[in-house]
Structure 1
Amino acid sequence: MSRRLPPAIFLMGPTAAGKTDLALELARALPCELISVDSALIYRGMDIGTAKPSAAVLAEFPHRLIDIRDPAQSYSAAEFRADALAAMADITARGRIPLLVGGTMLYYKALLEGLADMPAADPQVRAALEARAAAEGWQVLHQELAAVDPQSAARIHPNDPQRLTRALEVFRVSGLTMSEHRQRQAAHDLGTGGGMGQLPYTVAQIAIAPAQRQVLHGRIAERFHHMVEQGFIEEVELLRKRGDLYAGLPSIRAVGYRQVWEYLEGSLSKAEMIERGIIATRQLAKRQFTWLRSWTDLYWLDSLAHDNLPRALKYLSSVSILD
Structure 2
Amino acid sequence: MSNSSENRPVIPVLTGPTASGKTGVAVRLLEENPRIPIISADSRQIYRYLDIGTDKPDKGLLEKYDFHLVDFVEPGDRYTAFDFVEDASRLIDNSVKAGRLPLICGGTGLYIKSLVEGIVEIPDDDFSIRNRLEDEAIEKGPKYLFEKLEKIDPLEARKTHPHNIKRIIRALEIYEMTGRPKSEIIASGSKKTDDFLYKIYCLLPPREALYNKINKRVDEMIAGGLLEEVENLIRAGLKEQVEKVNVMGYSELFKYLDGELSLDSSVNLIKQNTRR
Q: Same fold (TM over 0.5)?
A: yes
- In 2 relative to 1, CA 260–199 (structure 1 residues): closer, same or farther, beyond 3 Å? farther
Kindly indicate whether residue 251 of structure 2 is the aligned counterpart of residue 258 of structure 1. Answer: yes
Question: For 2:102, what is the secondary structure of its paired residue?
Answer: strand
Per-residue Cα deviation, 1:240-277 (whole angstroms, up to 9, x for no partner): 112254177443x1011100111112211111111111
Distance, in Å, in 2 between the alignment partners of 1:250 and 1:14 is 23
Per-residue Cα deviation, 1:183-234 (whole angstroms, up to 9, x for no partner): 4x33xxxxxxxx6224521211000021x21211111111111101111011
| Matched residue, 1:231 | 225
Q: In structure 1, give the amino acid aligned to 2:258.
A: E
Distance, in Å, in 2 between the alignment partners of 1:112 and 1:59 is 28
Question: For 1:11, what is the secondary structure of its paired residue?
Answer: strand
| Matched residue, 2:66 | 62
| Matched residue, 2:106 | 102
| Matched residue, 1:243 | 237
Q: In structure 2, give the amino acid aligned to 1:281.
A: T
Distance, in Å, in 1 between the alignment partners of 2:29 and 2:23 is 10
Q: In structure 2, give the amino acid aligned to 1:208.
A: L
Deviation at 1:162, TM superposition (A): 2.5
Deviation at 1:165, TM superposition (A): 1.8
Alignment of 1:117-136 (within 5 A): 117-136=121-140
Kindly indicate whether residue 34 of structure 2 is the aligned counterpart of residue 28 of structure 1. Answer: no
Deviation at 1:141, TM superposition (A): 2.0
Distance, in Å, in 1 between the alignment partners of 2:151 and 2:12 is 39
> Which of 198, 201, 211 in structure 2 is aligned with 1:206?
201
- In 2 relative to 1, CA 136–247 (structure 1 residues): closer, same or farther, beyond 3 Å? farther
Deviation at 1:169, TM superposition (A): 0.9
Kindly indicate whether residue 270 of structure 2 is the aligned counterpart of residue 282 of structure 1. Answer: no
Maintained 8 Å contact 2:82/2:120: no
Alignment of 1:160-239 (within 5 A): 160-183=164-187, 185-186=188-189, 196-210=191-205, 212-239=206-233
> Is there any run of 5+ residues in structure 1 with no aligned partner, and where?
187-194, 284-323
Q: In structure 1, give the amino acid aligned to 2:260.
A: S
Distance, in Å, in 2 between the alignment partners of 1:24 and 1:243 is 34
Question: For 2:240, what is the secondary structure of its paired residue?
Answer: coil
Maintained 8 Å contact 1:256/1:277: yes
Q: In structure 2, give the amino acid aligned to 1:206.
A: Y
> Which of 258, 270, 286 in structure 1 is aligned with 2:263?
270
> Which of 111, 114, 135 in structure 1 is aligned with 2:115?
111
| Matched residue, 1:191 | none
Question: For 2:199, what is the secondary structure of its paired residue?
Answer: strand
TM-score between both structures, scaled by the size of structure 1: 0.79
Distance, in Å, in 2 between the alignment partners of 1:258 and 1:199 is 39
Q: In structure 1, give the amino acid aligned to 2:21.
A: G
Q: What's the % identity of the aligned pairs?
A: 33
Q: In structure 2, give the amino acid aligned to 1:258.
A: S
Moved over 6 A (4+): none
Q: In structure 2, give the amino acid aligned to 1:197.
A: K
Distance, in Å, in 1 between the alignment partners of 2:274 and 2:263 is 16
| Matched residue, 1:48 | 52
Maintained 8 Å contact 2:252/2:270: yes
Maintained 8 Å contact 2:47/2:75: yes
Question: For 2:13, what is the secondary structure of its paired residue?
Answer: strand
RMSD: 1.9
Distance, in Å, in 1 between the alignment partners of 2:271 and 2:212 is 10
Maintained 8 Å contact 1:37/1:100: yes
| Matched residue, 1:5 | 8
Distance, in Å, in 2 between the alignment partners of 1:199 and 1:228 is 44
- In 2 relative to 1, CA 244–19 (structure 1 residues): closer, same or farther, beyond 3 Å? closer
Kindly indicate whether residue 92 of structure 2 is the aligned counterpart of residue 92 of structure 1. Answer: no
Maintained 8 Å contact 1:114/1:199: no
> Is there any run of 5+ residues in structure 2 with no aligned partner, and where?
none
Distance, in Å, in 1 between the alignment partners of 2:244 and 2:194 is 27
| Matched residue, 1:18 | 21
